[in-house]
Amino acid sequence: MMNLSTKKSTKQKMMSGALAGVLMTSLGIAAPMIALTQTATAAPADNLTAAKRLNKLLTNTKSMTANFSQTTKGASSGTFKGSMSVQRPNNFRWETKSPSEQLIVANGNSMWIYDKDLEQATKQNVDSQVGNTPALLLSGDPSKIDQNFKITQPYSNKNYYVLYPKSDNASFKSLSMSFSGGKPVMMVLNDTLGQTTSIKFSSIKMNPSIGSSQFKFTPPKGVDVINQ
């Protein structure tokens, strides 16, 4: 039987993967699969062009809601499903509904991680640009992306991008993003622990009006609150 500390550790790893993905925050081994569908003669875009194209796509995403299916392969394997919302600047909501209930809410000043099963809520201070995390891509300032990432576009005729963090302290090695019709539909995160997290978005709504209450959190009565 899994004890509480083990359960907590496993769920926190999956939760951090969820945040990094949207964010973000992001997918099986989607990057190679996408690459195999391209023509052999397709040339990569240069880094400056890739950065401009990605910046334009993300700038057009002022807000977004979607359902997600997140699969992690590695030490902490599993599949989670739920919904997400992002709104610039720096508003983020990631709600896992199956197989367990977890909620991450960030508004630029603070971030809450609420685990309903453990009856625990953790509050963290966050940088206004969310540092070198994938959350920056969907909720931060697009013009700052090339300061934090090396941006590549392996095939100049496809809206598929691979980003590499410039910081040695980043928690991931690479992040892939795929767009269809101007919408971000898939992200693949390869972290420093050797895990691959795949996130597929569905029922995507671009630039909807989202109430500010979606990015606020008040711990339910009786929940343990931890400040970090």
Average pLDDT of 42-51?
87
User: For the segment 77-132, what is each residue's pLDDT rounded down to a tens digit?
Assistant: 889 999 999 998 888 899 999 998 999 998 877 889 999 999 999 998 876 444 44
| pLDDT for the residue numbered 168 | 83
Q: Which long-range contacts (CB under 8 A, 24 or more apart) does 89-92 make?
A: 89/128, 89/139, 89/140, 89/141, 90/128, 90/129, 90/130, 90/139, 90/140, 91/139, 91/210, 91/212, 91/214, 91/215, 92/22, 92/23, 92/24, 92/25, 92/135, 92/138, 92/139, 92/215
Q: Is the dihedral of CA 83, 86, 90, 91 positive or negative?
A: negative
In the predicted structure, residue 207 carries a pLDDT above the cut 90? yes
User: For the segment 122-174, what is each residue's pLDDT rounded down to a tens digit?
Assistant: 998 876 444 445 555 677 777 778 888 899 999 999 999 999 988 888 778 99
Q: Which of 23-27, 51-55, 122-126, 193-197 is predicted least confidently?
A: 23-27
Strands 224-227 and 120-125, sheet pairing: parallel
**Cα atoms in the Cβ-side hemisphere of radius 13 Å centred on 172:** 31
